[in-house]
A and B are shown apart, each in its own frame.
Chain A
């Protein structure tokens, strides 16, 4: 364990923290933005509660465009936007912007799928009881889809962990970046291995937490 010097320990701690910040913040932002977008897509879909192609198609197109842009390209392509939002284009904070954007598009689709899993009969029953569209969204769609929404978020968090490894390209730091800079570029396979093991443990933990919540919240 001669490679694990105090300096290296600090580097690991810092990188771990950076990963947590990047993934945590971009998850929070993408859930907050992705859910309304997913609801809009679901409600305005051709057989939805208020079908509206003029809303549905452009949003769907934007979501698909964001999802099909490779993350490494998206990251540099939106640098002006990033600078506008957080005032800088490098560093951990700067990395959060493209991560959140990519995850929002990803989550919007995953959330939309979760909403589609809601039994249409329950929505019909709510309509028959005189529920307004807003009530249907707030009291039927979201609560009934909640386990699915959480499962989708878990998938997104895990993807964000791997996306965040690319954040090194714009100085975002994080575990993935540490692995590349020390493990690969400085020929320290122990660092690379440790990074990978840490990430595996983190992903396993998050997945288990997600699964536990889904199990606890669904009553099927």
Chain B
């Protein structure tokens, strides 16, 4: 049985290309944000907050960086507009070599990069309209023009009625709408979102994410966001990078990373939203294989052209293998449907192997589920 499992995992080993050349793919236009070889250490002798991180974000895409707290994602996003200076590496935003700019140049460049914060960071003594006008004030835009720009942007975030309210009078979701409106007031091409939805309830999170997605399309924005919630990545990102201990451990198209996570950390993140894991109790309750038969537990992932074929019943019929479907669901990532199913295959070892390999040939992804005795 153990030999069997080893053989199977070998046969089923999926090549993880995952578009690791993603940094250079898709788009021929120059990337909006390029971070290259960033290193940052806060205290001498301390651990590296950033350890040789390189990321490139294409114009118009929503790029997510996901990681646990302390993984370095917050430092990373702060390096884009140099709220935090990397010890070494390159930062290019919209063609500007950020680290080469003087103070005045940096301030000018920052005005072209909007930023949204987890705790909104609104001025408590300014009204909604005054908060939104702040970046314009900083940039020296005349008062009349500021007023008309604020009037233009308030409807974009649905806050026309609250223009004269103070932040303390708003709900969390409304505060973040103000934060977004403020970030977009000076018409930036790039928007940085620092855990923009982490302080919000799930419903408001969805609302804010929808708003960001909608604004990206309307205003032709490039969005870089960091989050610890895989749900955020699944909901709006085109590409994702997973960070751990100051390094990017995996990156690629969200669909690829979700359907074929290569790293254990990524798999854990992904399982949060698409239920990769099967409880041990459930496994323990499955019937044992009969004499001469084997039981093999696997996740079968349906994606692509064959995702709608009746694969399981066909395999059962043709190979004489019984499939016990433990769990299954259909989901959609970035508009692409996929199904994931946990199955227990019962049958002669050779038949089981053959049936799973056949599924693999159809373009389904089969990953063994580890059984812990």
Q: Write the residues of chain A forming the contact surface with B, with a CB cutoff of 8 angstroms.
A: 119, 121-122, 124-132, 135, 139-140, 143-144, 146-147, 217-220
Contacts and interface: CB of A to CB of B under 8 A. Distances in A.
Contacts of A147: 125
Given A219-B167, A220-B168, A128 B113 contact: yes
Contacts of A140: 123
A139 B83 contact: no
Contact of B134 (A139, A217, A218): A139
Given A218-B125, A220-B168, A128 B134 contact: no
Contact of B107 (A125, A131, A139, A217): A131
A130 B110 contact: yes
Interface of B: 81, 83, 103, 106-111, 113, 115, 117, 119-126, 134-135, 137-139, 166-169, 182, 186, 192
B185 to A, nearest CB: 9
A130 B124 contact: no
A156 B109 CA distance: 43
A76 to B, nearest CB: 43
Given A128-B115, A130-B109, A220-B168, A143 B125 contact: yes
The 4 closest A-B pairs by CB, nearest first: A130-B110, A121-B121, A219-B166, A130-B107
Interface SS of chain A: helix, strand, loop or mixed?
helix
Given A143-B125, A146-B125, A219-B168, A121 B111 contact: no
A47 to B, nearest CB: 12
A117 B125 CA distance: 14
A101 to B, nearest CB: 31
B110 A122 contact: no
7 contacts: A130-B108, A132-B107, A144-B123, A218-B124, A219-B124, A219-B167, A219-B168
A147 B123 CA distance: 13
B138 A126 contact: yes
Given A126-B134, A131-B138, A219 B125 contact: yes
Given A132-B107, A219-B167, A220-B168, A125 B121 contact: yes
Contacts of A128: 81, 83, 110, 113, 115, 192
B43 to A, nearest CB: 13
B127 to A, nearest CB: 9
Given A129-B186, A219-B167, A124 B123 contact: no
A131 B123 CA distance: 14
A148 to B, nearest CB: 11
Given A130-B107, A130-B110, A220-B168, A124 B138 contact: no
A129 B110 contact: yes
Nearest to B122: A122
Given A144-B124, A146-B125, A219-B166, A130 B119 contact: no
Given A124-B83, A219-B168, A130 B135 contact: yes
A49 B317 CA distance: 72
